[in-house]
Chains A and B, each alone.
Chain A
């Protein structure tokens, strides 16, 4: 199982559009991905309800885990999404 901790770059946190983009990416990656805020309980990263309800804000640290053939590559891509600011 691969794991990665990153800091949220989106100025409005992991809400609305960034949450949608992230969930879409997690869901289409084919891997089983979880997301946890700080040391909290992980949620299914393919669940927009799970991701939104974490209440992740700008600057929060989140931990990603992935299981699957290309888990490392999947986490690289998702981590990149999380550190980028998608809000205009």
Chain B
């Protein structure tokens, strides 16, 4: 099949990076093997199947050894799937019916796959693991290369439909110059990987299916484009930008600020004290969201004691002397169940007894956590702020702030994740010392789109003007009463959206550590007036895609002017 290579492919860029390199495509899945009767004996077919299953299992194990960590567990589990006794029985049954080894393997895997997929959620994801093993075995039987991620010797730009978690485990990230996917949006697994590892990526680029192996491409995440077969001029331009970014990455980190000097502190989101040093090294000016769930998950069936909690908070606060550390009290619910907090089954966990609602129902746990935090604060030099998740009313705000003060917390605020709290932000901020906007949940609740559900993933986009208008409400309320409004959530890690959020009144931005460099560089390009202009343009759009496109175009013309 020959098709002409498209000269320019557009999608959604992740981050601000530029990359240039040679395309290596992820091969397409193998077609289902024909269901025609075998010409071999059943014993021969059984031997062929066993041999290929064993080869694939050993290969997955050795890849697991090489990968280490969590990837090793995934790959070892896949190896066990290949040699699973129940699978082996299903293959034998199909062989007894006169099928080829290829077809028997295909059918046996497919039946287990369908069972898992029907169970959904975590088990549904394992269905993709099973598909991957099935494809490898069928490829081995046919003597063709296994589909999946390529592993050329040279660095490459990976072009794929989308990447499954198992694919990324196999990927040698040192050789990946960039990622291009034809499917998948800004919240896809590929996009999350790209943000985490600071890999240049353009996702959802439909026409990328036309990019052939070996084509030289330039990826420009800032404009969301892929240029195939670039001119010498385009190559030189890309190389200059890559060099500039490398220089910026090693330049001394400065505090977050706009072009006019307006300070916008850049903070880190952390899930345990282990990442504190890396965040400080990357120039985080403190912690904007410290999640405490893991402390409680690790403790097993009971809540950790005040002493256990205090020790952990001490380690965290000691890493940030003189700096702000915002700790979120336990955020659990039926979607993140903790037996001692909420053991009830709920039809709609996102709308149920979660966050502050669940803590209020078990106030002892909340009091103990606040007490441990206050004790750790008193013993260290960091500036501790504490906030409650999933606050939906002014009354809840008053309850939390009152209890926090009673337990010795000096600065107490709330997360704004529910539209009701955003709409009444002036009154919420009348009681709270600060607000921090959780954009992921705010988007979920504003657009009534379950964050966990792939079928409505397109609605989970913080660029939506309805979400931004709510952010603007909180920003305006903060400015009116002179209280800080932070952003924590994926939105703050998007370098252009970060500028819009500042234009809407955000006074600090908190993100995962790898995003700090790009956001810092992006903010330095705009004055506060320009940020406000971009915010107006975003608010005036009809939808998320229009908002993103209009702001990108306006930002480009501002910089060219």
Does A59 lie within 8 Å of B123, measured CB to CB? no
Q: Is the interface of A mostly helix, strand, loop or mixed?
A: mixed
Additional pairs, 4, CB under 8 Å, beyond known A23-B80, A55-B123, A85-B298: A17-B73, A24-B80, A52-B123, A53-B112
Does A49 lie within 8 Å of B300, measured CB to CB? no
CA–CA, A49 to B108, complex, Å? 12
Contacting residues of chain B (116-175) with chain A, CB-CB under 8 angstroms:
116, 119, 122-123, 126, 130
Partner pick for A53 among B80, B116, B301, B337, CB 8 A cutoff: B116
Does A48 lie within 8 Å of B80, measured CB to CB? yes
Does B339 lie within 8 Å of A59, measured CB to CB? yes
Is B252 an interface residue, CB under 8 A from the partner?
Answer: no
Contacting residues of chain A (1-53) with chain B, CB-CB under 8 angstroms:
9, 11, 15-17, 19-20, 23-24, 43-44, 46-50, 52-53
CA–CA, A48 to B343, complex, Å? 27
Does B300 lie within 8 Å of A48, measured CB to CB? no
CA–CA, A17 to B343, complex, Å? 23
CA–CA, A20 to B119, complex, Å? 19
Is A77 an interface residue, CB under 8 A from the partner?
Answer: no
Contacts A47-B85, A53-B119, A59-B339 given; does A85 touch B300 at CB 8 Å: yes
User: A-contacting residues of B (Cβ < 8 Å)?
Assistant: 73-74, 76-77, 80-81, 84-87, 112, 115-116, 119, 122-123, 126, 130, 297-298, 300-301, 337, 339, 343
A-B pair number, CB within 8 angstroms: 58
Partner pick for A20 among B76, B116, B301, B339, CB 8 A cutoff: B76
Within 8 Å CB of A48, what residues of B? 77, 80-81, 84
**Number of chain A residues whose Cβ lies closer than 8 Å to a Cβ of chain B:** 24
Give the Cβ gap from B168 to chain A, nearest Cβ, in Å. Answer: 16
User: B-contacting residues of A (Cβ < 8 Å)?
Assistant: 9, 11, 15-17, 19-20, 23-24, 43-44, 46-50, 52-53, 55, 58-59, 85, 87-88
Does B77 lie within 8 Å of A16, measured CB to CB? yes
Does A49 lie within 8 Å of B86, measured CB to CB? yes
Give the Cβ gap from B203 to chain A, nearest Cβ, in Å. Answer: 26
Q: Is the interface of B mostly helix, strand, loop or mixed?
A: helix
Contacts A11-B300, A43-B86, A48-B80 given; does A55 touch B73 at CB 8 Å: no
Give the Cβ gap from B510 to chain A, nearest Cβ, in Å. Answer: 25
Within 8 Å CB of B300, what residues of A? 9, 11, 85
Does B297 lie within 8 Å of A55, measured CB to CB? no
Give the Cβ gap from A76 to chain B, nearest Cβ, in Å. Answer: 21
Within 8 Å CB of A16, what residues of B? 73-74, 77, 122
Most B CB within 10 A of own CB, among A17, A47, A88? A47
CA–CA, A63 to B123, complex, Å? 21
Q: Which residue of B lies closest to A17 (CB)?
A: B73
Contacts A44-B86, A47-B84, A85-B300 given; does A53 touch B77 at CB 8 Å: no
Q: Which residue of B lies closest to A59 (CB)?
A: B339
Within 8 Å CB of B76, what residues of A? 20
CA–CA, A9 to B299, complex, Å? 11
Q: Which residue of A lies closest to B338 (CB)?
A: A11
Q: Which residue of B lies closest to A21 (CB)?
A: B73
Within 8 Å CB of B85, what residues of A? 44, 46-47
CA–CA, A21 to B66, complex, Å? 19
Does B122 lie within 8 Å of A50, measured CB to CB? no
Give the Cβ gap from A48 to chain B, nearest Cβ, in Å. Answer: 4
Within 8 Å CB of A20, what residues of B? 73, 76-77, 80
